[in-house]
């Protein structure tokens, strides 16, 4: 009997050894490229920075779109490659991150007074960009572009031209000619903001229409566009088949205060709250959004700089994916304001963090939400901060990345 159990024990050990050897052999035979892809899913991330170049007026110091590898653990940026282009000052991916679109903020394209929008194919493994085509933005100085949730349309806001356009996206990600163009209409806004910090002289471009941002609502049924020069946020109903726009009812909402200068906006992750950032009044407004009617109802407005006196221009608004914290960029004050967001969408100022640079034109969270990056336009650098999830506080990572005239940063995950 002991001999029988001894034989069985030896057989069990032998099978275990054979199984372990087989597993080791299978792992060794696992293709190296596949192992690298598996590791990359955990660790690799790419960032793209768009810059003002010599094609701008005034000229910038950038060269186009710069590609950076992002270290997931530390947030460090390592240079990979530069893709030359004329002032690609806004960058956006399609929903599946197969294509990248760049608004080229120039005043002349193919002999016409217009800017352009470029479409790129994206290599998800290397971050490489391949130009597909470039088309007219249908207006001078495009400052912003966005992609419809379906991926079928790209919207562009032409700051210099004072109009917006809808571009159709082809199956290969390339852009077709505009299917609709709308000029912003109305009287110029107040020459100087009547609300804002005491002694504020942030006076600019209230001389006619200047479309600053355009994007659809989360449902994709409406398109909203901020016009800084007219002090209006326009709301359009979108035909999701043709791309045509028709005015909503009402067709616009006025700025939260005269002369405030609406710049960028964002929706709360719940899709029911709309936040509008006003460049010249250093003001944030909170609205209830009715996704059935396409209407906005003001419920709160607040300064981005409590206690500050002097001139400032706000630039960017970012909301964390959980909807609990908001970050706003202040130019001239050179800070990131930090707000908590309540369950009803109202906000409360928590504090601010110095950007360690000059004139923060854009801020963005990386896909993990652990790091926030600042594009400091006038100091020609990008700075990085660690985000403390429990409080929303920011800690500077002592990392400066030299980029000429950075205007926007976005991430491929």
Query: Which pLDDT score, from 0 to 100, does residue 44 have?
Result: 66
Mean pLDDT of the chain: 91
Residue 13 lies in a domain: no
- Domain presence at residue 190: yes
Q: Confirm whether 15 is domain-assigned.
A: no
Indicate the number of domains in the chain. 1
- Please tell me the predicted confidence (pLDDT) of residue 32: 42
Host domain of residue 345 = 47-412
Whole-angstrom CA distances from 293 to 249, 252, 282, 298, 398 are 8, 13, 29, 15, 47
383, part of any domain? yes
Q: 47 pLDDT exceeds 80?
A: yes
Which residues face 277 on adjacent strands?
284
Domain assignment present for 167:
yes
Half-sphere exposure of 13 (CA within 13 A, CB side): 6
Q: pLDDT by residue (tens digit) across 329-377?
A: 999 999 999 999 999 999 999 999 999 999 999 999 999 999 999 999 9
Model confidence at 43: pLDDT above 90: no
Query: For residue 39, is it within any domain?
Result: no
d(CA 137, CA 195): 34
- What pLDDT is attached to residue 167? 98
> Is residue 1 included in any domain, yes or no?
no
Q: Which residues pair with 395 in a beta bridge?
A: 386
187 burial level (CB within 10 Å; 0-12, 13-18, 19+): exposed
- Domain-located, residue 334: yes
CATH of the domain at 242: 2.130.10.10
């Amino acid at each position: 009997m002991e001999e029988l159990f001894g034989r069985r024990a030896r057989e069990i050990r032998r099978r275990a050894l054979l199984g372990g050897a087989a597993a080791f052999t299978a792992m060794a035979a696992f293709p190296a490229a596949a192992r690298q892809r598996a590791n990359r899913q955990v660790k690799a991330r790419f960032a793209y920075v768009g810059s003002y170049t010599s094609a701008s007026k005034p000229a910038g110091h950038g060269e186009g779109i710069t590609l950076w590898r992002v270290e997931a653990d530390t947030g460090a940026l390592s240079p990979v490659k530069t893709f030359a282009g004329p002032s690609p000052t806004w960058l956006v991916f399609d929903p599946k991150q197969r294509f990248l679109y760049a608004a080229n903020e120039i005043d002349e394209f193919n002999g016409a007074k217009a800017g352009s929008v470029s479409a790129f194919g994206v290599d998800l493994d290397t971050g490489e960009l391949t130009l597909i085509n470039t088309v007219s933005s249908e207006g001078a100085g495009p400052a912003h572009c966005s992609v419809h949730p379906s991926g079928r349309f790209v919207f562009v806001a032409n700051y210099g031209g004072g109009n917006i356009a809808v571009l159709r996206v082809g199956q290969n990600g390339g852009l077709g000619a505009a299917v609709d163009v709308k000029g912003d209409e109305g009287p110029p806004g107040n020459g100087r903001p009547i609300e804002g910090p005491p002694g504020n002289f942030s006076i600019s471009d209230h001389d006619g229409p200047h479309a600053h941002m355009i994007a659809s609502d989360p449902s994709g049924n409406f398109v909203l566009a901020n016009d800084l020069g007219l002090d209006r946020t326009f709301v359009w109903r979108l035909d999701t088949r043709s791309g045509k726009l028709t005015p909503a009812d009402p067709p616009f909402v006025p700025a939260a205060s005269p002369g405030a200068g609406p710049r960028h906006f964002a929706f709360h992750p719940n899709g029911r709250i709309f936040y509008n950032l006003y460049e010249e009044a250093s003001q944030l407004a909170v609205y209830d959004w009715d996704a059935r009617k396409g209407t906005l109802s003001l419920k709160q407005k607040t300064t981005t700089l409590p206690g500050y006196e002097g001139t400032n221009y706000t630039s960017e608004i970012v909301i964390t994916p959980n909807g609990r914290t908001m970050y706003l960029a202040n130019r001239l004050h050179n800070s990131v304001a930090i707000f908590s967001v309540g369950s009803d969408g109202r906000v409360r100022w928590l504090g601010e963090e110095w950007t360690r640079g000059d004139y923060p034109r854009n801020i963005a969270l990386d896909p993990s939400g652990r790091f926030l990056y600042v594009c400091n336009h006038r100091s020609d650098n990008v700075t990085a901060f660690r985000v403390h999830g429990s409080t929303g506080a920011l800690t500077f990572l002592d990392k400066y990345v030299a980029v000429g005239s950075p205007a926007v940063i976005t991430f491929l995950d």
